Copies of this chain bind each other. A is one copy, B any other.
Amino acid sequence: MLGEFELIRKITKSLKLPSSVLIGPGDDCAVVRLCNKKRARQASSLHLLTTDMLIEGKHFRRDWMTSREIGEKAMRVNLSDIAAMGGKPLFALVSVGLPKSFRVSEAKELFLGLRKAAEKSRTAIVGGDTNRADRLTVNVAIVGEAGRFLTRSGAKVGDAIYVTGTLGDSVLGLAALRKKKKKGYEFFIRKHFCPPDRLSVGLKLAANRQVHSLIDLSDGLAGDLEHLLKASRVGADIWRDKIPSSPGFIRKAEGLGLDPEKLQLTGGEDYELLFTASAHVKIPPKINGASVTRIGSILPGKSGNSLKGLTGFRHF
């Protein structure tokens, strides 16, 4: 990890937080009590806060994506953090830094993309800030609500580990773009541009008391699993041959000279959900349209092959 990133993690973790903060920095969202304390024990009376910044050249390239796609992705990666706690999004704030070369029509498309993703999830864009920048920069902050919520620190020894959807598609799409091989990779490129909407899945998981922990896969399976295991102080046995792939994924990865398994373990930006639940509970193979696959078990302490040492996803 880069020095200042680790440092900031330490500083923010050391902040003195009031009792109204149930979960502070370090999870996908903060969880806070904004309403009357008595009512806060009822469903939907806790609130989730999250923010994510996307920067041109670091998170996206303007010659690869349309402005509308950039807007849509900026909103969706933030919504993914709400899904990762089992919450429901309510309000969004959007700050943008627009380069001088950005045309008025592009600014409009960017906002239409942001609005499209917001409206689909019934999130109201209530405010923002527009600035000049050298590189296109889009920051979204979301306020959501939750009754029961899930964190990355609740995994229990004996839990089964599941993921939604398929892994590695987004990073394969990115690799195809880098190698200028769009033809035949349209599906994967689309997955890279448009993270899945797992909000309804997250809500359903949070409502199930046998589900113990939840995280979204933004940094890659190995990295995000490591975050969950560290926060839950447990180990894991991962069944590598069970990691779900899209049809044609292995062939298409090998077609670019890439190791499909490595893409799935360390490639980032899947924005699928990783969760753990009591092994004796039946988890359906599909939840609200998303396939669900068991990929391993939670073990005690630091035991198991937790994919440790595999490098997580790094942006460009």
Contact = CB atoms under 8 A, between A and B. Distances in A.
Nearest to A107: B4
A94 B90 CA distance: 19
A97 B130 CA distance: 17
A127 interface: yes
Interface string A45-59: 101011111010111
Contact of A53 (B8, B97, B104): B97
A137 interface: yes
Given A108-B7, A124-B17, A132 B315 contact: yes
Nearest to A316: B132
B57 A134 contact: yes
Nearest to A59: B131
A47 to B, nearest CB: 6
Contacts of A11: 108, 111-112, 115
Given A93-B141, A137-B97, A141-B141, A51 B15 contact: no
Interface in A9-55: 11-12, 15, 17-18, 20-21, 24-25, 29-30, 32, 34-36, 39, 45, 47, 49-53, 55
Interface string A127-170: 11111111101010101010000000000000000000000000
Contact of A51 (B24, B139, B145, B315): B139
Interface string A74-97: 000000000000000011011111
Contacts of A255: none
A55 B21 contact: no
- How often does this chain occur in the complex, in copies? 2
Size class of A's contact patch? 35 or more
A4 B133 CA distance: 13
B4 A90 contact: no
A107 B47 CA distance: 29
Contact of A34 (B55, B97, B102, B143): B143
B95 A139 contact: yes
A55 B104 contact: no
A199 to B, nearest CB: 17
Contacts of A106: 4
Which of the listed residues A8, A52, A94 has the most CB atoms from chain B within 10 Å of its own CB?
A8
Contacts of A36: 35-36, 39, 45
11 contacts: A11-B112, A15-B125, A17-B124, A25-B126, A25-B128, A34-B35, A35-B45, A51-B128, A55-B132, A58-B133, A139-B139
